[in-house]
Amino acid sequence: MAEFYHRPVMLGEVINGLCVKDGGVYFDGTLGGGGHSYAILAASPAATLIGTDRDGEAIKASKERLAPFEGRFRLYHSNYKDFENVLGRAGVDRLDGVLLDLGISSHQIDEEERGFSYRSATAPLDMRMDKSSAFTAKEVVNGYPPEKLLRVLREYGEEPFAAAIVRNIVKRREQEEIATCGKLREIVEESIPPRFRSAACARQTFQAIRIEVNGELEGLGECLRGLIRKLKPGGRVCVLTFHSLEDRIVKQVYRDLASDCVCPKNFPVCVCGKKKEIEIINARPITAGEEEIKQNPRSKSAKLRIAEKTGA
C-alpha cells in the first residue's frame, strides 16, 4: 500500500474559522491524512480531538501523523454521519468545534487500485471510500436499470449528456461487463459530441457514480444539523465542499438555522417558536487563494462555510 497523503485545503482559513480554544473539544469527521487535525491540536496545548473516517487507511495514517499529541485524540473507523454513536463511545456530549472536509483525498484519487480516477485505464471500477463495503461502482454501472443510472448522472453529476452516456453504457454492458475505469471513460467520451470533448469530460460521470457508491449526499443535511446542535455556545462549525450539490445543502442548513420565526408575516404573534441557532460568519463562501491553487489545483473548487453557535 502506498503511503497515505492528503494536502489539507485552506488550512489556515479552517483553523482561523474554528477559533481553537484552550481546552476545547473538536470533532474532525473526515480525517484524511490528519492534516487539519494536526493543526487543530497544534493550535492549543490543551485541545482534544475526536476524529472519524470511513477509510481504514486514513485512520492508520492519521494515528501516525498525530502521534506527537498522544493522549489528546481518539480516532474511529466510522462514517461521520454516525457521530452520535462515536461521541457516545468517546464519552463526549458537547463540542467546541466541528470540521467536515467533504472532498475526496489525493491519496484515494491517485492510488490506482481504488478506482476513483477517470485518468486510469486499467483500474477496477471500485470507488469505495470504505473498502469493507461490498458495494462498488461496478455494481452501479453494470447493474442499475437505465432510468436509475440516468437519475444518478443527472442529479449527482449534473451531466448534460447523461441520456447518451446511459444509452451507450447499456449497449456496451449487454456485450460485456464494464469492469475498468478506462472502459467507462471510453464510453463517456464516445457519448459526448466532439466539440464538447476534453481530457476531463468524464469527470462529472465519475463524480456522480462515486457519490452514489458512497451515499455522500444521503443524510448530509440532517447530520450537519445534529452536529451543530452538539456545539457549545460560541462553538464553530467549518464545512469544506467541493461541488455545488454539497454546497447547496450546507448553505440551506446554515440559512435555516440562522433564521428566527418562520410564521407567515400576517400572524400577529409567533406560534412556531423557532429560535436562531447560529450566526453565519461568512455570507459568501471562502475560496482558496491563487498561490494555494497553484500548489494544489484540487483546491480550486473548494468552498468553506463557517458558522458559530448562538446562546449564552
pLDDT in tens, the chain (312 residues): 445 556 799 999 999 999 999 999 999 999 998 999 999 999 999 999 999 999 998 999 999 999 999 999 999 999 999 999 999 999 999 999 999 999 776 656 656 667 667 777 789 999 998 888 899 999 999 999 999 999 999 999 999 999 999 999 999 999 999 999 999 999 999 999 999 988 889 899 999 999 999 999 999 999 999 999 999 999 999 999 999 999 999 999 999 999 987 778 888 788 877 889 999 999 999 999 999 999 998 899 999 999 999 985
> Could you give the dihedral angle defined by the CA atoms of residues 121, 122, 125 and 131, in that order, rounded to the nearest 10 degrees?
-130
Site of grid cell 453565519: 280
Span 115-214: which CATH code?
Answer: 1.10.150.170
Vertex 30: Cα angle to 29 and 35 (nearest 5): 115
What pLDDT, on the 0 to 100 scale, is given for residue 113?
Answer: 64
Domains 11-102+217-309 and 115-214 share a fold: no
**Residue 23 DSSP one-character state:** T
Q: What are phi and psi of 49, to 5 degrees?
A: -140, 140
Among the CATH numbers 1.20.1250.20, 3.20.20.10, 3.40.1360.10, 3.40.50.150, which is that of 11-102+217-309? 3.40.50.150
How far from chain centre, in Å, is Cα 152? 17
What pLDDT, on the 0 to 100 scale, is given for residue 130?
Answer: 87
Site of grid cell 502521534: 67
What pLDDT, on the 0 to 100 scale, is given for residue 38?
Answer: 97
Domain boundaries, the chain: 11-102+217-309, 115-214
What pLDDT, on the 0 to 100 scale, is given for residue 108?
Answer: 61
Q: pTM of the full predicted structure?
A: 0.90
What pLDDT, on the 0 to 100 scale, is given for residue 115?
Answer: 60
What pLDDT, on the 0 to 100 scale, is given for residue 4?
Answer: 52
Beta-carbon count within 10 A of 123 CB = 20
**Residue 19 DSSP one-character state:** T
